[in-house]
């Protein structure tokens, strides 16, 4: 089934073209509300209070990650290179450097600056963005095309190969430009993005056969919807829908291995191009391209209200979350493999319940993409299950890639590491500051810079609190009036969240608090008295009343350590447990064991008592879990594969578990999330 007609989109997008003022203030929020067919529209905290986990990471992004990332983007050995824009603008001589997707990773860095600027109003960031936007504009071809990997390479032609990543680069440009325009009020970057959008419309809207199945990593779908939301130009939304329709639109032959005419590593399931999205039932292929496709489709559905598209996304979501997602929220276990339909795949989803630990790929871009997708599904449906996954990602696999100083990164995110673990494609024994594929660090940067924008959402009757962390929300709700509230908490280390209503509308307003699915005994009080609102795990508790300035809401979430088990078909976790406290997944790292005790000899008693303890000097300040475990001594495994089970008694052993995201910060040590249960 095709997406809604142009006329349908025209009626639904009748808010018109935005002016500079409308793009930068609350009018832009109102316009998103008019266009969106989901029950929620995004909210933005106007201030984040330092001292909490989210605020500390925002500060780290502002003061360390962004400037250090510029050094990496200027490093001659890095795969993403800002210098291409100086060459493209004629400021210096040279050839293209880096990967085909270098431009897109630079745009993500600019987007991160724009999100930070929205909060800090740091004039240095404003000048930095202006400098690079000017060079980008001067690099852009007259007809709107821009991709330095082809412009600066005479051996490459436009749209010569999918692997050139032109659409990926242009998509990230349009998204970054929309953010920049909104937060600065300037139209310099948006003008570049308009030319890109117009060029893409002229090139792809007619669906020429030679380009009908061209796309690979489809950030252009999100980018086009972002451009539509920033400008009101209907053709951008129309083209986004066309790109969704194109995926899987033609028959893909079975591709026998070893035949050169079929050895295209970006065909079939690898590229989500074997089955039309509206008919798909499972998550297959490259995890980043898959999730970018689903994010873009969710954006299109938010504007068109198409039920069939939403139903398909929900179907795929259940396949991911119920059968193919790690406990950390990570996705995409395959370095290389075969899809359920027999296609070669890499950096990809595997078969159901196929979740290896030590060899897990789990690319950071895919993990963060999972959070992005769930944010969109939340806004489409208002269902807390999506916010739960969003939080699961943000506290675990989205940040396990980065060291606590914000200067070094990993590309992959395994759930176990030992001397026996092979170092496969994109794996590294240590974190790095420059890399052969630098897409993940700017993905982290732009996410940390905007997480406060994921914390709240709005509907016609009030405010939704999706994520907990100290912040100030100051906004104007259409039809209700001004709202200002202050959230104070040390979450996720402490389960007490206090929300003070500093200013409230005259009319009745709903305040919806997300009760995480793990919070089995949450309580809510208003001004010290029982709120009499059900705090059901996995839902939003609704507090609807006429609020007054000074009203205080207190939410208590039970942060008890929990022993988690996996579905019995997950062989890699059979008869093992993982430990969680709140949204945090914990791991055992050899650095926290007595010398000479290997991680693989540690077992977790079913009745273990784990005590939470905040260690201010450890790993940037974390809550650790301490308890008495069991050590089962193993035989000497040198030169053998099997051995008789020793009849040895369990030895009591004190252990300390740390948050998984903080591993690999104290040198190379064995690490495991899943531990044998005693």
- Of 612, 625, 538, the closest CA to residue 577 belongs to 625
| Residue 468: pLDDT over 60 | yes
Spatial distance between the Cα atoms of 612 and 559, rounded to a whole number of angstroms: 9
pLDDT band at residue 38 using 50, 70 and 90 as cut-offs: low
Q: Which residue has the tokens 């943000």?
A: 394
Residue 214 confidence (pLDDT): 79
| Residue 200: pLDDT over 80 | yes
The per-residue pLDDT of the chain, averaged, comes to: 91
Residue 23 confidence (pLDDT): 29
Q: If you write DSSP's letter for every residue of 58-123 in order, what string do you get?
A: HHHIIIIIHHHHHHHHT-TTSSS-THHHHHHTTSS-----S-TTHHHHHHHHHHHHHHHHHHH--H
**Of residues 573 and 23, which shows the higher confidence score?**
573
Residue 419 confidence (pLDDT): 85
Average pLDDT of span 523-548: 95
**Of residues 121 and 479, which shows the higher confidence score?**
121
Question: Cβ of 218: how many Cβ atoms within 10 Å?
Answer: 29
First to last CA, the chain: 53
Q: Which residue has the tokens 């202006």?
A: 130
Residue 260 confidence (pLDDT): 47
Sheet-wide strand order for 496-503: 47-48, 471-477, 481-489, 496-503, 552-556, 523-526, 529-530
| Residue 265: pLDDT over 90 | no
Residue 671 confidence (pLDDT): 97
Average pLDDT of span 418-444: 91
From 246-260, 349-363, 471-485, 644-658, the region with the lowest mean pLDDT: 246-260
Paired residues of 655 in beta bridges: 627
From 237-241, 424-428, 454-458, 664-668, the region with the lowest mean pLDDT: 424-428
> Do you know the residue count of the chain?
678
Spatial distance between the Cα atoms of 242 and 585, rounded to a whole number of angstroms: 40
Cis peptide preceding 656, ω within 30 of 0: no
CA torsion, ordered 651, 653, 657, 663, to nearest 10 deg:
-80
- Of 595, 569, 568, 564, the closest CA to residue 675 belongs to 564
From 48-52, 80-84, 443-447, 585-589, the region with the lowest mean pLDDT: 48-52
| Residue 17: pLDDT over 90 | no
pLDDT tens-digit readout, 90-103: 999 999 999 999 99
Which CATH number describes the domain made up of 457-556? 2.60.420
pLDDT tens-digit readout, 273-329: 999 999 999 999 999 999 999 999 999 999 999 999 999 999 999 999 999 999 999
Distances, alpha carbon 4 to alpha carbons 222, 238, 241, 434, in Å: 17, 9, 8, 44
Average pLDDT of span 486-509: 96
User: What is the percent of the chain with per-residue pLDDT over 90, rounded to a whole number?
Assistant: 82
CATH fold for the domain made of 6-454: Glycosyltransferase (1.50.10)
**Is residue 348 within a helix (H) or strand (E), and if so which, with residue range?**
strand 344-348
User: What is the percent of the chain with per-residue pLDDT over 70, rounded to a whole number?
Assistant: 92
Spatial distance between the Cα atoms of 466 and 489, rounded to a whole number of angstroms: 14
Each domain of the chain, given as residue ranges in start order, spans 6-454, 457-556, 561-676
pLDDT band at residue 21 using 50, 70 and 90 as cut-offs: very low
pLDDT tens-digit readout, 559-611: 999 999 999 999 999 999 999 999 999 999 999 999 999 999 999 999 999 99
Residue 14 confidence (pLDDT): 32
Contacts of residue 459, defined as CB under 8 A and 6 or more positions apart, other chains included, come to: 39, 40, 41, 382, 510
Residue 254 confidence (pLDDT): 67
pLDDT band at residue 5 using 50, 70 and 90 as cut-offs: very low
Question: Cβ of 348: how many Cβ atoms within 10 Å?
Answer: 29
Residue 34 confidence (pLDDT): 53
| Residue 264: pLDDT over 60 | no
Residue 19 confidence (pLDDT): 27
> What DSSP character marks residue 436?
S
| Residue 24: pLDDT over 60 | no
Average pLDDT of span 201-211: 93
> What DSSP character marks residue 486?
E
Assess contact for 292 and 104: CB atoms under 8 A: no
Rg (CA), the chain: 25
Spatial distance between the Cα atoms of 170 and 312, rounded to a whole number of angstroms: 26
Assess contact for 540 and 533: CB atoms under 8 A: no
Residue 184 confidence (pLDDT): 97
């Amino acid at each position: 089934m095709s997406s809604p007609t142009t006329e349908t989109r025209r009626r639904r997008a009748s808010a018109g073209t935005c002016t500079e003022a409308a793009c930068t203030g609350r009018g832009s929020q109102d316009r998103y509300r008019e266009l969106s067919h989901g029950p929620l529209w995004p909210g933005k905290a106007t201030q984040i209070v330092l001292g909490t986990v989210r605020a500390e990471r925002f500060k780290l992004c502002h003061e360390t990650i962004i400037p250090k990332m510029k050094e990496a983007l200027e490093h001659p050995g890095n795969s993403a290179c800002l210098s291409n824009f100086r060459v493209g603008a004629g400021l210096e001589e040279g050839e293209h450097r880096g990967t085909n997707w270098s431009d897109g990773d630079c745009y993500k860095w600019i987007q991160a600056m724009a999100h930070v600027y929205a909060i800090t109003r740091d004039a240095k960031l404003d000048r930095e963005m202006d400098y690079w936007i000017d060079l980008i504009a001067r690099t852009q071809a007259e007809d709107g095309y821009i991709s330095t990997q082809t412009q600066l390479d005479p051996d490459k032609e436009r749209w010569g190969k999918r692997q050139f990543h032109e659409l990926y680069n242009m998509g990230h440009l349009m998204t970054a430009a929309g953010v920049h325009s909104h937060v600065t009020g300037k139209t310099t970057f948006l003008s570049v993005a308009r030319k890109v959008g117009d060029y893409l419309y002229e090139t792809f809207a007619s669906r020429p056969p030679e380009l009908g199945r061209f796309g690979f990593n489809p950030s252009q779908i999100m980018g086009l919807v972002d451009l539509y939301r920033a400008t009101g130009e209907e053709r951008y939304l129309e083209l986004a829908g066309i790109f969704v329709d194109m995926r899987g639109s033609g028959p893909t032959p079975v591709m026998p291995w070893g035949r050169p005419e079929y050895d295209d590593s970006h065909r079939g399931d690898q590229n989500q191009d074997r089955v039309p999205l509206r008919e798909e039932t499972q998550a297959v292929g490259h995890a980043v391209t898959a999730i970018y496709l689903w994010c873009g489709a969710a954006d299109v559905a938010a504007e068109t209200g198409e039920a069939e598209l939403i139903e398909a996304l929900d179907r795929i979501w259940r396949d991911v979350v119920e059968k193919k997602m790690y406990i950390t929220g990570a996705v995409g276990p395959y370095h290389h493999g075969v899809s359920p339909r027999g296609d070669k795949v890499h950096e990809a989803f595997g078969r159901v319940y196929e979740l290896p630990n030590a060899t897990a790929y789990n690319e950071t871009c895919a993990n963060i993409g999972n959070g992005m997708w769930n944010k969109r599904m939340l806004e489409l449906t208002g269902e807390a299950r999506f916010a739960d996954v969003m939080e699961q990602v943000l506290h675990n696999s989205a940040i396990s890639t980065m060291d606590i100083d914000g200067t070094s990164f990993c590309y992959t995110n395994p759930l176990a590491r030992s001397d026996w673990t092979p170092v496969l494609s994109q794996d590294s024994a240590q974190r790095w500051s420059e890399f052969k594929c630098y897409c993940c660090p700017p993905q982290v940067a732009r996410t940390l810079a905007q997480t406060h924008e994921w914390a709240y959402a709005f509907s016609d009757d009030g405010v939704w609190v999706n994520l907990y962390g100290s912040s100030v929300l100051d906004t104007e709700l259409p039809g209700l009036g001004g709202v200002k509230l202050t959230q104070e908490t040390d979450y996720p280390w402490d389960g007490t969240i206090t929300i003070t209503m500093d200013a409230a509308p005259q009319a009745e307003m709903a305040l919806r608090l997300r009760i995480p699915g793990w919070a089995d005994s949450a309580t809510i009080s208003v001004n010290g008295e029982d709120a009499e609102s059900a705090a059901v795990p996995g839902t939003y508790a609704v507090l609807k009343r006429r609020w007054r300035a000074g009203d205080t809401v207190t939410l208590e979430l039970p942060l008890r350590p929990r022993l988690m088990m996996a579905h019995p078909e997950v062989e890699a976790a059979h008869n093992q447990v993982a430990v969680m406290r709140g949204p945090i997944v914990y791991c055992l790292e050899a650095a926290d064991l007595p010398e000479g005790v290997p991680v693989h000899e540690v077992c977790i008693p079913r009745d273990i008592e784990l005590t939470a303890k905040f260690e201010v000097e450890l790993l940037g300040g974390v809550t650790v879990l301490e308890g008495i475990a069991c050590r089962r001594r193993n035989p000497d495994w040198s030169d053998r594969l099997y051995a008789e089970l020793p009849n040895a008694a369990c030895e009591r052993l004190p252990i300390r578990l740390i948050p998984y995201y903080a591993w690999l910060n104290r040198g190379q040590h064995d690490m495991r999330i899943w531990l044998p249960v005693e």
